[in-house]
Structure 1
Amino acid sequence: MRDREEIKPTAVELMELHVEALFTHDRNKRLLTINEPWSGEDPAARFFLGRTIEGTALCRFRYDVPEKVIEQLEELCADEPIVSDFRTKPKHFEAYMSLLQGERFTMGPCYLVPAQAAPAMQVISITRDNMKEFLHGDFEWLTSEIDSAQPCIGLVREGRAVSICRSVRITSRAHEAGLETLEGYRGRGYAAAVVAGWATEVRRMGRLPLYSTSWDNFASQSVARKSALSLYGVNFTIN
């Protein structure tokens, strides 16, 4: 694990890990489905653009996007500037939407949880063995996914989990975080603690812990700031 941490992937390498975690690919790196660890195979986005803080942009396309359109999109992607503000839309936003006749898009910052992250409060690993003890009430829905969402780290108050971070996109090289904190327990640092605990477990497995969110999810962005996560870029998708 020490060797992996010392390598320090570049921003574009991290973006590649991110898109590989989000979607399944064919042998030509065309997008197929959303990479969910539980059952279900929803179609992938038609277009993925990952702009990085280093200036290199990474783009991927669903298998059914015409080659002529892909060529045009690739040329535009190569002209995307360095990301300085994750709230700024891509330079060629209008062209992307027009070429794909897009009606909906998603966008948001992408972070690496640093190796030095450590939970400031006591957290626990939640598995099938103890889920009935800690997942009653508002987190009971997670019991059906618990085996697929490992590692799953929780913070317990009054005998139940009130904040949870788990793996929701998984590959052999990286995990993406899924974070949930009950409304009455927000703003207390619980989310930052479970993210740090989750990242520690992911790194222990020899994989990198990634955290991404939406450009308008201010609560999630606040967790990223408080946790001193390392921004490496911004994702953008057209469905």
Structure 2
Amino acid sequence: MRYDERELLELHADVLYLTDARGRTTFTNEPDGAPAWRVLLVRGTGRVLWRLSDTVGDDLAAELAALLADEPPVTGFDAHEPPRHEQSYLDLLGGQAAQAWSGPAWYLPEADPHGPAVLIGPEERDVLRGGFDYVHDEYDALAPVAAVVVDGRAVTACRCSRRTDRAAEAGVDTEDGHTGRGHATAATSLWADAVRASGRLPLYSTAWTNHASRRIARRLGAVPYGTDWALP
């Protein structure tokens, strides 16, 4: 199934942040959400979407909006393309380039199973204790959860880092000593199946510098649809 780029960019932004009646972002869409970053710019190859946080004053927001509206789409998803007006955003917001976050975003299509992962129901979540206490404690907000379990405890866990009624963003971690074995790929693949079964689209994103995470996306046949650039 193919998805419209505009819809994908909107699903992505909605998963990341809660918004107010004006369309301004307020908090991250996660348990105990943090204040939204001030600028979010999501670019596809044909469309561009941007949002500003509710902490940006109206006059400054108008200046930023004029620049954001002039941003072109990216030419591809293989490498970082800085925003056209990146330096202006940094100047207006008093930020540094090192503070900006950027990375690619994909959706996960149906794929064959990738290894010995299992779904963790609420009655089995004690296997998450120790290495994944946060996932255990916030299980209801983060489900579905898939894990690789070794000797009765999870060594890799993939959960919804953020979710809406229409989409969910993967968050996957592996304990030290268990990396490089395909566990993250297996858990993310099974998590994506469970997300689709819930009627949501499974999304996956990371930083350009996170090469391990980008390898997981390639192994899963992830389909790129956008790139993020955000400034706190």
Is TM more than 0.5 here? yes
- One-letter amino acid of the structure 1 residue matched with residue 26 of structure 2: L
Moved more, 183-192 or 210-219: 183-192
Higher mean C-alpha deviation, range 122-131 or range 225-234: 122-131
Give the CA RMSD over aligned residues.
1.7
Match of 2:218 among 217, 225, 230: 225
Are residues 1:99 and 2:99 paired?
no
Contact 2:42 2:227 in 1 (8 A): yes
For 1:3, the equivalent position in structure 2 comes to none
Q: 1:97 corresponds to which letter in structure 2?
A: L
Match of 1:46 among 19, 38, 42: 38
Q: Which residues of 2 match residues 167-186 of structure 1 at below 5 A?
A: 167-186=160-179
**Cα distance in 1 between the residues matched to 2:169 and 2:225:** 14
What is the alpha-carbon distance in structure 2 between the residues aligned to residue 182 and residue 169 of structure 1?
21
Q: Which runs of 5+ in 2 are unaligned?
A: none
- Within a 5 Å distance, the mapping from 1:3-152 to structure 2 comes to 6=1, 8-36=2-30, 38=31, 40-54=32-46, 56-83=47-74, 84=76, 85-103=78-96, 104-114=99-109, 116-132=110-126, 134-152=127-145
Q: Percent identity?
A: 37
What secondary structure sits across from 1:163 in the alignment?
A: strand
Amino acid paired to 1:214: A
Cα deviation, 1:173-208, whole Å, max 9, x if unaligned, reads 111111111222222222111111111111111111
Higher mean alpha-carbon deviation, 221-230 vs 100-109, is at 100-109
Q: Distance in 2 between matches of 1:150 and 1:128?
A: 9
SS of the residue aligned with 1:148? Answer: helix
- Alpha-carbon separation, structure 1, partners of 2:35 and 2:134: 24
Deviations 1:117-175 (A, max 9, x none): 2322132111331122x224323443212222100001122332221110011111111
Following the alignment from structure 2 to structure 1, what is the Cα–Cα distance between the partners of residues 134 and 29?
A: 20
Distance 2:162 2:130 in 1: 25
Distance in 2, matches of 1:68 and 1:142, equals 41
Measured after TM superposition, the shift of residue 24 of structure 1 is 0.7
Distance 1:11 1:122 in 2: 33
- The amino acid across from 1:209 in the alignment is P
Q: TM-score, normalised by structure 1?
A: 0.88
Distance 1:60 1:194 in 2: 32
Range with bigger deviation, 13-22 or 184-193: 184-193
Q: Which 4+ residue blocks in structure 1 deviate beyond 4 angstroms? A: none
SS in 2 for 1:118: coil
- Preserved CA contact (<8 Å) 1:107 1:215: yes
**Aligned-partner residue type, residue 218 of structure 2:** R
